[in-house]
Amino acid sequence: MIKNYKYLKDINFPADIKKLSQSNLKILAEEVRSEMIDAVSETGGHLGAGLGVVELTVALHYVFNTPNDKLIWDVGHQTYPHKILTGRKDRIRTLRKGNGLSGFTKRSESEYDPFGAAHSSTSISSALGIAVANKLSNKSNNVIAVIGDGAMSAGMAYEAMNNAGATKTKMIVILNDNDMSIAKPVGAMRSYLAKILSGKIYFSFRETIKLIISAFSKRFSKKAGKAEDFLRSAVTGGTLFSSMGFYYIGPIDGHDIDGLVSVLKNAKEIDFQGPIMIHIKTEKGKGYEFAEKSADKYHGVTKFNINTGIQEKSKSNIPAYTKVFANTLVKHAEKDSKIIGITAAMPSGTGMDIFGKKFPTRMFDVGIAEQHAVTFAAGLATEGYKPYAAIYSTFLQRAYDQVVHDVAIQSLPVRFAIDRAGLVGADGPTHAGSFDITFLTTLPNFVVMAPSDEAELVRMINTSIDINDRPSAFRYPRGNGLGLNLPEIDEKLEIGKGRIIKEGKKIAILNFGARLHECLLAQENLKKKGINITLFDARFAKPLDEKIIWQLATDHEVILSIEEGSIGGFGSHVGYFLSDKNLLDNKLKYRSIILPDRFIDQNKPDSMYKSAGLDSNSIESKILDTLNSKIIVKKTN
């Protein structure tokens, strides 16, 4: 720690907070906020969401007996203050680094993280599971879920609330309403919450507390019962939450720590057999001027100067793959009015903000609702439109049933722009794009592409425009391209045709995706050792370029495939083709390099790829090992 804090220096675990008087909690909260700003300025990471829940975090750990009471955070990027207060203060400057603290909640990291969360809208479901388990085990532990930062736009949250209300299981849900997710939230729920806040039912905090204290009496008098009825009906206006079986409280000021403590204590002690929802209003970025003024730009940050708020910028002038995608799609949309852009609460992350500025009536941000995004796109496709669903690989996993049932089976021409393919660095395994090649190439009649560089990405976008009889996808990595000149938008690829990059003898590498540069480095090193290899850029995992693969198999002794994906993807399809055509015999050896069968912890991307065996040295070693084993087999024969 850098500063000599008055209280935080002596706070190692939540039990230490309970030693303070309630009047000192406000100072502690200010110190936690200061420490978080200092730490994130050095590490980068998620800033705005955590700043908004500092008072809430202090109050929760002051009132409840964690970790016996289970505190479950939705979208774990809100939890930096929680980590500071739960035994991880001294490691907070290792956030998102190799062997450091995760940027999200993680069960293996701390007993104070009862459920891991990096994707949104899982807190109510998991909390209900824990609460029901407690009930079945006759445990009296409290279970608290904190949901917000846009997570209420996802259908899973409502599925969980519906179930929680029906089971009448005691649990507390805190709706952290900050009117934001990463960007401004969208949808009817946002408007609904705004009406609650702007109407007559938004009491002053003191009035609300008075009513809550009356309503939460353990033994309701006639007068208290009337107060309760008034609170639940007048304050909520017969809200959706009440109709789903929740005892709804709020909205209240989420930055008034004294008020929060009072409400949480009463929620903890009330004899109500069912779920309780406490609706708090917070400000994303609270307490840091620059984050308050620009909450979207300070949601996730690079290292920054605390005094000026200026974030470190990439030293590269090479555009990122995301921007190349967005700018290329805009060029096509200028000529084709049928092109529609769709994103699921990630307009800036996917580049759809660029598209939306140019075509505001043709870009749809559906909120944190990937399932809906895919089926919405399918509906558009039935009417002759050309929807581009721009979704991170890790988030597309949430909509796989819709990809299968609503798109693939009906052979609808939805185009999937899959960002953050492969390993992504500091966000770790929860955000890695490891499985999309596998889960898409198993689907009949799907076109699956991956560019080896930004120029190839442009060609694949160009190609996808004319794929009108089936679904298609192109996946591309996080970060900048290689600095290549970009082709014009009329330069397209033949479906299912790859390209030979280098011609050699005996050994052929079949590359799919952005590892081509590492393959070229391996090829150069092997050339110095007198080994000349053929390098083939497949471009398509489906359909395969069977003609070229057949030719390479008959002309070479070793074939090695490489991809940034799990087993079952490109390499598996190549292996099946070679086996099915009886091309695997004593003459030909086939090996594949894929992501290993484990989740790879956060680190710098280069270190992660080295760990995965997908760097140039690992490729070279794999080739040499395969050659040596082939020589041994020949000698034995």
Look at residue 479 and give its three-state secondary structure. Answer: coil
**Whether residue 398 lies in the annotated active site:** yes
How far is residue 361's CA from residue 367's CA, in Å, rounded to a whole number?
Answer: 16
HSE of 428, CA atoms in CB hemisphere, 13 A: 23
**Tokens (6 digits) for 550:** 């057949």
How far is residue 18's CA from residue 13's CA, in Å, rounded to a whole number?
Answer: 10
Is the peptide bond between 251 and the residue preceding it cis, with omega within 30 degrees of 0? Answer: yes
38 CB-near residues (< 8 Å, 6+ apart): 2, 3, 306
The enclosing H or E element of 146 equals strand 143-148
What is the phi/psi pair of residue 304, to 5°? -145, 160
State the residue for tokens 């990096």.
118
Beta strands in 220-372 (DSSP E): 247-253, 275-281, 300-301, 339-343, 363-365
How far is residue 73's CA from residue 176's CA, in Å, rounded to a whole number?
Answer: 11
Q: Which of 380, 310, 301 is nearest to 340 (CA)?
A: 380
**Tokens (6 digits) for 542:** 């489906």
**Whether residue 42 lies in the annotated active site:** no
User: Between β-strands 363-365 and 300-301, what pairing exists: parallel, antiparallel or unpaired?
Assistant: unpaired
Torsion sign (Cα): 403, 408, 411, 414? positive
**One of 284, 420, 478, 539 is an active-site residue; which one?**
284
Q: Which of 509, 532, 528 is nearest to 519 (CA)?
A: 509
**Whether residue 218 lies in the annotated active site:** no
Task: Write the DSSP assignment of 452-473 as a string of letters.
Answer: SSHHHHHHHHHHHHT--SS-EE
**Residues 614 and 108 sit within 8 Å (Cβ to Cβ):** no
User: Between β-strands 415-419 and 45-46, what pairing exists: parallel, antiparallel or unpaired?
Assistant: unpaired
How far is residue 408's CA from residue 410's CA, in Å, rounded to a whole number?
Answer: 5
Q: Which of 426, 354, 438, 360 is nearest to 390 (CA)?
A: 354
How far is residue 98's CA from residue 101's CA, in Å, rounded to a whole number?
Answer: 8
**Residues 150 and 182 sit within 8 Å (Cβ to Cβ):** yes
In the β-sheet with 247-253, what is the strand arrangement from edge to edge? 70-73, 143-148, 171-177, 275-281, 247-253
Active site residues: 284, 370, 398
